A and B are shown apart, each in its own frame.
Chain A
Amino acid sequence: MMSELLWLIVALPFASSLALALSGKHLSRLATAMIGVGSVGLSAIVMLLVGQDFLHANPVGTPVHQTLWQWINVSGFSPAIAFHLDSVSLTFVFVITFVGALIHLYSAPFMWKEEGFARFFSYMNLFVGFMLLLVLADNFLLLYLGWEGVGLCSYLLIGFWYKDPANGYAARKAFTVTRVGDTAMVIGLFILFTNYHTLNIQDILHAAPRTWAPGSTIAVTTAFLLLGGAVGKSAQVPLQTWLPDAMAAPSPVSALIHAATMVTAGVYLIARTHVLFELAPIVQATVAIIGAVTLIVAGMSALYQHDIKKVLAYSTISQIGYMFVALGVGAWSAALFHFMIHAFFKSLLFLGAGSVIAVLDNEHNMFKMGGLWKKMPVVFWTFLIGACALSALPLITAGFYSKDEIIWQAYASDKGSITLWLTGLAGAFITALYTFRMVFLTFFGKAKAEPAYRPGIAMTVPLVVLAFLSFAGGFIQLPNNMGHVTLFSQFIQHTLPVTVATASGHAAEWIAQVIAAIVSIAGLVLAYRIYYNKPFPAAEPVRSPIQRFFFQGWDFDQLYDKGIVQPIVFLSRIDKNDIIDRFYTGLASIAGLFNRGLAATQNGKLRWYAMALGIGAVITLTILLYT
């Protein structure tokens, strides 16, 4: 039984991370890369073997359970180090190991000349290990360990070039902002534990519908707190501000952590605890609303960015917004399908952008690029495929099938509405617009900079593989009216419930699809009219207040700075000398007083000491004689 090897998928990256951390200094770069890339590659191979077993299990979709050892056992609280593999976790494990291995392969030449090469791979492998722990955990405590572990690795990798203080600031910001959500999530887990006396996920999911009434206060509170964790990790409004700054990380890190895997942990959490969200319809509706707001907010910001990676960062926030919409309307399999396809095309786009940035000597500004399509054909064509998938060009791209399903379900599901559908369409238009703005500015027009070199084979192979998946990955799940292929949704339905649809019929679906297709093509055409082959000045433009508002991400940073950071700093400043502080500073100053007094007696003068001795003797004698 290959599924016995499940633990190996997690253990390999951890082991390699440890090995590189301990002996990275003594290894050559080649050996480091072999260990760093090889471990994740092996993990991917083991995943394929385990997945093969899983698909041929009888009956299909039987979860694989593996307990390694007892972690803690204190008065009834006994979480184990145990893994639970079902179709949802397998989807995530597939993306983490497979896309992860491709990104690791790309990183080896990308980071070759950097200082701290072994450190980089050690962090990356540690991240993969923690992420796998997160999605495979069978109890919430282990899940939380992975959850915080990936947060730590994200922090370490955003601040990888730690010599620039701005990168350290971005790392701290990412860590602090996600902590807000994590705190909410921990409180949610406490509530779950006090109610069920266990943290085992499957046990809780089975017990919850029997003990909690739908819409009861406790169910709503718990689901809301878990949603807080998901919002923080997945960079949704109102905790999205950390992700654009996280682009300080090297590009492969952005591709792996801030596009493909870690930021979708929130989607995983909601899908995993879907029972709790179904018990709290208000919160589930909130999930959809958060997603809808986020996809518009982030999409508008992406339109005004100059930094190619920031466009992709806002785009990631926006696409995860789509996943949240799908989760909110109960289209579980659509959310996970878009997660998978998004992981393919967004990591492809990040790796492509990373190549462009690297060959142009660390140039991030799209307005200083241009005309690269002839000079970097492989990067251009793969980037174009990724861009087509992101803007969901109809019929040929995987992004169309995944995003169209979400937009359709936003209308057709029993929890959907026409507002959500229209928001999804508006988001699709904006997506196509900013995506092709990026493509036209970067690859077309007059060349403004000459590439220093061409990416080697180890960098182009991952691009080609991911481009193939961004194109072909969609055909495993086709809409009802076109072929009706449901490989993916059937696979997911072993774990998650089927979407309840109210609207149906091929006619309505056809109309919706045609509208969605027209909208995304309209975005492309508009981008072509505005940005294709137009001379743009490379300098930073003078922005109108509206443009600056969108450029700065709807001024959320300023809002938090003015509304939260500055009041707290102000309060702590005026609160510096309150009564408690005075007590402790008083203690310290009394001690200081004694110190100064006693130090003064040690003046180094021999006669002074002799006098003290004499006085002491007199006093002692007096006491002896007169008592």
Chain B
Amino acid sequence: MSAWERFVETFFKPAMLAQYWPDILKGVLVTVQIAAAVVLTGLTLGLLLASLRAYRILPINWLIVVFVDVFRALPPLVAILLIYFGLPSVGISLPSFVVLWLVLSLVLAAFAEEIFWAGITSTPKGQWEAARSTGLTFSATLTHVVLPQAIRLGVPPLTNRTIAITKNTALGTVIGVGEILNQATTAQSFTGNATPLMMGAIAYVALFVPVVALGRWIETRFAWRRV
């Protein structure tokens, strides 16, 4: 057998490709669902926290800062293991996909809060004053004047962060969430062949390359023009 044939046999065995693509596809669906849920809840929570922080209620702001700092410093895998293996012994059993969704949402919320908050604080004071003097309330100023600008300003940094965090759905394999990597390693342990792993890697790349490319585009499209 030539080296090339051996390579194909090891990483792209046709019989395995045919046998396992439905499993990998199932994994793709799980990955997409969890990633979408994480993006939705994480960004929403981050925006809510940043808006709440704008009211400058001291004890609440302290809590938000602590939350943000903790989830920026804590590796997500640590939080995942802690919640998944720890909570059942105090009587709370969460399904593994819920644990994954919860942890990644909190991590994304922490980063999103920081980014939106930076946008809120960078809005010139004059805009607040102008809006308030036209009779808008504080909340109306926040939602109609400040947040639209803060969100736009936050798009480029948020895009990359969001992509990086949604890729962490692969961590779910450690607690048995049936995402792509989990399907691939399971299949690989049955077959004793690296083809399913390769399929998993390709599925991830196929899924995320368009997202990364889109991120690149958004970054240039939304970049704040420097004077």
Chains A and B come from one and the same complex: no
Residues of B at the A interface (CB closer than 8 Å) are none
Residues of A at the B interface (CB closer than 8 Å) are none
